[in-house]
Amino acid sequence: MTDGAWYVVAGAVLLGMAFSAAKIERLPLTTAMFYLAAGLALGPTALGLFHFNPLEQSALLELLTEIGVLISVFAAGVKLAPPVGDRLWWAPFRLAFVSMLVSVALMAAVGVAVLGLPIGAAVLLGAVLAPTDPVLATDVQVKAPGDDDRLRFSLTAEAGLNDGTAFPMVMLGLGLMGLHELGDGFRLWWAIDVVWATLSGFAVGGALGAAAGWIAHRLSASGFSNEFTEDLLGLGVIATAYGISLLVLGYGFLAVFAAGFMLHRIETRLAARASSRRPDRPSPRAMSPVTLVFIEQLERLMEVALILLIGGMFFIDSWQAQYVIAALLLLIVIRPVSVVVGLAGSREPWKRQAAISWFGVKGIGSLYYLMYAIEQGVPADTAVTLISTVLIVVALSIVLHGITVKPLLGVYSRGDRA
């Protein structure tokens, strides 16, 4: 398509969603389903107006998905209010570490048995598909800071955490394929990719978020903040945390998630302390909730663009049986099994475990990891298999979770109140 045609298509999609958003909210559907349908209609599956080739455009898609995930993990961090020592965090940490490892192992087995992948590529596939997605899972996430619904909290915190905790397994898969140095006896992998990168990511993000929270409080208390300051706050924290983390070989997604969490926590704690000391004065205005609104608007725009591109990657014959079988096994079998194992002995009610098992949404994070791996030199034939599987997983997740999220959350909420 010409540049003019692209603008017309983009404008038509955005206008259509703007005029129909209120009606969609009343339907048992999600906006992501409509974006996907539009992409499929405009792409090679139907009208053939455009085709986005993820193998040829892997660098561009890596950048776009990277930005999308960064925005989303920061927003997830800002919305989580309880301190890390709170019992609410127990389930997310189990899900992000234990369940993630189980998911990688089981999906790697599927990769070997169903897709015929060598062990290194199979581990890479399992790692790519292990994270749940903070971009497409907004319907099941915490709505705003202070929302302490246990189901939403667990899913939000898991998505924020495991977009970083899956990275060591991605590096392991690349190492087994000869594309990354693991060291003798995997020592380098353990020391750098597991321990250092994880801990430094948390440390960098936590320290920067705390510092930004203190500065934001001081600016607000002194009257030197405005709407422009608040809008730029989130973007500045995201970029700085991510950049510093990459410079010290840490995991940037973990850093950005930790930065968002600490920014809001420190800022609100200082505001509460100031209010208790001087109850006769109005409390300083917190910047983080305001910047969250701006960040969430960017998140929605990235969601539109990325899902349209996903739809434009499909051909009619993309839905081959082995890829569909692998995708269904992940969503219907592997995700529930990994959650049950991860939460074993946690005293989480079975109803909540069932809801967590089903709402393990897959999406933009998996695409990022896949494009990152392809840019490291994954052979083209292997990359085609990985791309086909991941795209079908994401599309099925958008559809299956999209048509069930509102009815099932309604049932869950009624049962939770009973």
**Residue 229 in this model has a pLDDT that exceeds 90:** no
List, as own/partner pairs, every contact residues 350-353 make where C-beta atoms lie below 8 angstroms and the sequence separation is at least 24, other chains included: 351/412, 351/415, 351/416, 352/150, 352/151, 352/154, 352/412
Helical segments of 99-180, H only: 100-113, 119-129, 150-165, 167-176
**Residue 137 in this model has a pLDDT that exceeds 70:** no
pTM of the entire structure?
0.92
Lowest mean per-residue pLDDT among 149-163, 242-256, 330-344: 149-163
**Residue 43 in this model has a pLDDT that exceeds 50:** yes
Query: Cα separation of 247 and 333, whole Å?
Result: 39
- What does pLDDT average to over the chain? 88
Q: What's the pLDDT at 417? A: 47
**Residue 141 in this model has a pLDDT that exceeds 90:** no
Q: How sure is the predictor about 275, in pLDDT bands with cuts at 50, 70 and 90?
A: low
Let me know the angle formed at the C-alpha of 152 by 335 and 407, rounded to the nearest 5 degrees: 75
Q: What is the number of helices (H) and of strands (E) in the chain?
A: 18, 0
Let me know the angle formed at the C-alpha of 140 by 412 and 58, rounded to the nearest 5 degrees: 145
Q: How sure is the predictor about 158, in pLDDT bands with cuts at 50, 70 and 90?
A: very high
**Residue 283 in this model has a pLDDT that exceeds 60:** no
Q: What's the pLDDT at 93? A: 94
Query: Cα separation of 394 and 310, whole Å?
Result: 9
Helical segments of 248-334, H only: 252-277, 288-311, 321-328
Share of the chain above pLDDT 90, in %: 59
**Residue 63 in this model has a pLDDT that exceeds 90:** yes
**Residue 392 in this model has a pLDDT that exceeds 60:** yes
Q: What's the pLDDT at 231? A: 75
Share of the chain above pLDDT 70, in %: 91
Q: What's the pLDDT at 279? A: 62
Lowest mean per-residue pLDDT among 80-84, 121-125, 364-368, 414-418: 414-418
Q: How sure is the predictor about 281, in pLDDT bands with cuts at 50, 70 and 90?
A: low
Q: What's the pLDDT at 415? A: 59
Lowest mean per-residue pLDDT among 154-168, 215-229, 245-259, 356-370: 215-229
Q: What's the pLDDT at 8? A: 76
Mean pLDDT value across residues 192-199: 96
Instruction: Work out the widest C-alpha separation in the chain, in whole angstroms.
Output: 70
Mean pLDDT value across residues 129-158: 82
Q: What's the pLDDT at 402? A: 87
**Residue 343 in this model has a pLDDT that exceeds 70:** yes
Domains of the chain: 3-417 (1.20.1530.20)
Q: What's the pLDDT at 3? A: 66
Q: How sure is the predictor about 238, in pLDDT bands with cuts at 50, 70 and 90?
A: very high
**Residue 418 in this model has a pLDDT that exceeds 60:** no
**Residue 253 in this model has a pLDDT that exceeds 50:** yes
Residue type, 12: A
Lowest mean per-residue pLDDT among 126-140, 257-271, 324-338, 372-386: 126-140
Q: What's the pLDDT at 2? A: 66
Residue type, 293: V
